[in-house]
Each structure stands twice: as structure tokens, then as C-alpha cells.
Amino acid sequence: MEPAGTRVAGFNKGKLLNNPVLLTLLIGVFGGIGSVARVFIMRWQGVMPFGLFLTNGLAALLVAYFHAGHLVQDYLLVGVIGLAGGLSTFSGIAQAGFDFYHRGRIAQMLLTLAINIVFPLLILTLVFWLA
């Protein structure tokens, strides 16, 4: 199995990795885009934090898609660390669990934690299996 990001035709060490400042700036910009998208998606609330499930699921989908060989190495870093990293949120999972726990909703807390672990793993598995 070839390393991540090498399946693209004409793979060559790109120009972004030669300029660490530009690479860092791009990761920061795409991290910001992912974070802003997360804020809007996480507004979807109900009995369970459905927006939280969706953001972590989308981040897992992006990571799996990028690692399946659809990006060259430079853009793999920007996409995974920046965009998917900004979109996913461990702190959101912790906050939701903490809130449910302190309201005495232990079942919702456990379900939220389980869904946020299992759902992204299922998405990763499915995308890698289909790729």
C-alpha cells in the first residue's frame, strides 16, 4: 500500500512543503473555515446534539477521503490538519457529555459519547472500504 496522498498521477513533492510559512498559513486559513462551518452546523440541536454528530462525521469523511489518495501530500496536510481539524471537535463532545451529566441525563451522556466514537469510525471504515 502506497503512502497517503501518493496515488494522484504525477505525484511529486509539492511546492507548499518547500515553504513552511505558506503551508502553516494555509492550514490556519482552512482550520478557520472548518471552525466557522462547525459553529453553524452545531446549531442543529434537539434531544441529542445532532450538529455535533454531523460535524464529527463530516470531519471523519474528509479525513478518509483525503487519505484514500485523492490529494497530493501538500494538500493532504492542509485538508486533514486544517479543514477536518477545524471541523471536528473533541471539546464539543466533552461539553455535551458534561452538560448531560450535570443535568442527571446519564443515558444521553453515554449515548452522545458512544455515537461520537462509533459514527466517525464507521464512516472512516466505509470510505476506506469503498476506495
Kindly list the distances between the CA atom of residue 38 and the CA atoms of 20, 24, 28, 57, 94, in Å, as whole numbers in the listed order.
Answer: 26, 21, 15, 11, 15
Element (H, E) at 126: helix 106-130
Measured CA to CA, the distance from residue 57 to residue 120 in angstroms comes to 5
Is the pLDDT reported for residue 4 higher than 80? Answer: no
Grid coordinates given for 24: 502553516
Q: In the predicted model, is pLDDT for residue 122 greater than 80?
A: yes
Which among 85, 82, 80, 76 has a CA at the least distance from the CA of 29? 82
Q: How high is the pLDDT of residue 106? A: 94
Whole-number average pLDDT of the chain: 84
Rounded-to-integer distance, Cα 8 and Cα 130, Å: 17
Which pLDDT score, from 0 to 100, does residue 10 have? 47
pLDDT tens figures, 59-104:
999 888 888 876 777 788 888 889 998 888 888 888 888 999 999 9
Q: Which long-range contacts (CB under 8 A, 24 or more apart) does 105-110 make?
A: 108/47, 108/48
% of the chain with per-residue pLDDT over 90:
37
Q: What is the pLDDT of residue 48?
A: 86
Q: Which string of b and e fits 8-33 if b means at least 16 CB within 10 Å?
A: eeeeeebebeeeeeebeebbeebbee
pTM: 0.78
Residue 3: per-residue pLDDT: 53
Predicted confidence band of residue 17 (pLDDT cuts 50, 70, 90): low
Cβ neighbours around 100 below 10 Å, total: 20
pLDDT reading at 112 higher than 70: yes
User: What pLDDT score was predicted for residue 18?
Assistant: 76
